[in-house]
Amino acid sequence: MAELSKTAAENVQRWLSDPLIDDETKRELQELQEQPQELEERFYKDLEFGTGGLRGVIGAGSNRINRYTVGRATQGFARYILEQHGQAAGKPSVVIAYDSRHFSPEFALEAALVLAGNGITAKLFPSLRTTPQLSFSVRHLNATGGIVITASHNPPEYNGYKVYNAEGGQLVPHQAEQVIQYIQEIDSFASVKRLEQSEAEAEGLLVWLGDAEDEAFAETVAGVSVNREKITSELGKDFKIVYTPLHGTGNIPVRNVLNKVGFTNVHVVAEQEQPDAEFSTVKSPNPEEREAFTLAMKLGKEVGADILVGTDPDCDRMGAVVLNDAGEYEVLSGNQSGAVMIHYLLSQLQEQGKLPDNGAVIKTIVTSEMGAVIARHYGAEIFNTLTGFKYIGEKMTEFEQTGKYTYLFGYEESYGYLAGNYARDKDAVLASLLICEAGAYYKAQGKTLYNVLQELYAEFGYFREKLESRTLKGKDGLAQIQAKMADWRENPPQKIAGAAVTEVLDYSKGLDGLPQENVLKYMLDDGSWFCLRPSGTEPKIKVYFAVRGNSLQDAEERIDKLAAEVMARVDA
């Protein structure tokens, strides 16, 4: 114990002496006495309530996700819910969903029983549901809030806990800060109020959701289709889709919605169809990575698929793979898919006379300008937010309340998209539908989505983007990330990759009316930019790059040069 920091040693002792901590957990901690570094990592701080909630490695400890840290977070959220609810009519309620990760059902039930212990009705899905369905259900059921147990596309050892407000959006900073304060005021697990399951059910404080909510969600998403009649009557049956849920929650809802709209030629990757907390067929269950599509590509070639679609474990991110001119499968980036969907959606609305004069598209500050240029071509206003769909959701609610703008589409480069006003989080169910619908529509014109993308480049500019990241785990890694950000902030480059730095945007100062965030963006005189940002959900520093070239080859050369020079300094 002598090798532990004072904070870690005190936290370990607190857990070992707490009568509410179960014997199995205490045994696990006793066995770690000879591993001070591991104990330090588990107890040097409390697991931070960061981007929308908790995310961490599963295990015993204050800096791990487990039933105790979930219970403590839920107690803080319950206090927030009760204070926000105030004197509103009826009992407050929170909808809870969970994905296919280890302990997801257990953590979801624990959260429900703590809510029940605070007199808040927990409306719990009995099996896997997607994150976007949770967002939709909060709004659809007029709930006071929501919780989803997921760690998105993190490795198998992780799980997470995200909380939502009454609008169905993840908490934004001023809301999260209040919850964090309430959590920090809980100095003992004895302060966490909790009912047993039988008692919560008997008192009507634990309610199980089911088929009616599923059908409402599916029909609402299908309703966003802009060519449903054409897909159902002619285009859907000839368009071949290969889909993989990557062992997550997307299998049933994605297939259900595609079928509703008329896509009947859907082939599912059998090896990745069933939920699997180990994600055993992939290195990472992340549709941003080409490797995740290895099995889908194999099946695609066997069946002659027009498109391959994959969704992450909680089905809020969608990746698409299309055929290039050589007949090979090419993974679209999040920026490319976003540009294609914006063009398809807005062009169809315009053609049908349904494009509003006050239409708005929302993107994040690290997302390509290509989608913005296309959206402006169709008369839409562009709004930029910080990274995180919660900010896009917040803007959507603002539009809904003021009526000044009509929301059309929101997206971020990390494969998150939403069209339609039914949710306040990114939806891979909807994105799967929209990208397949665009594919089928253009196939009828003799084009692939790759052809469409080349046409968009020729018309709007040769945009190219890249993302690099460095994983730096643990206490030391966090310190390294902070040191790197401080170095770039204090010693900004004057010139990089042959271009002069014309502006440094330091979002920690709260630029453009946005909340303060530790993000640095460097604008270059050739129209390029790059941006450094610590991840809010993983132990990573992320570096984003964007250029606009005279041709695809020119753009490719520019971005490679820019990325090489910046990363050489990041890695120094």
Distance between CA atoms of 382 and 363, rounded to whole angstroms? 8
Question: Beta partners for 502?
Answer: none
Contact 362, 392 (CB under 8 A): yes
Residues 6, 134: Cα–Cα separation, whole Å: 40
d(CA 387, CA 537): 12
Q: Hey, which residues does 96 pair with through a beta bridge? A: 124, 147
* Contact criterion met (CB below 8 Å) for 411 and 346: no
Query: Is there a catalytic annotation at residue 93?
Result: no
- Residues 6 or more apart whose Cβ sits within 8 Å of residue 533: 366, 387, 517, 518, 519, 520, 541, 542, 543, 544
The alpha carbon dihedral of 552, 554, 556, 559 has a sign of: negative
Distance, CA of 145 to CA of 77 (rounded, Å): 9
Q: What spatial distance separates the first Cα and last Cα of the chain, rounded to whole Å?
A: 35
Residue 456 · residue 378 · CB < 8 Å: no
d(CA 83, CA 68): 23
Q: Which residues pair with 497 in a beta bridge?
A: none
Residue with tokens 């959206």, as numbered in its chain: 375
Q: Which of 100, 104, 135, 152 is catalytic?
A: 152
- CA-closest candidate to residue 45, choices 18, 12, 78, 81: 12
Residues serving a catalytic function are 152
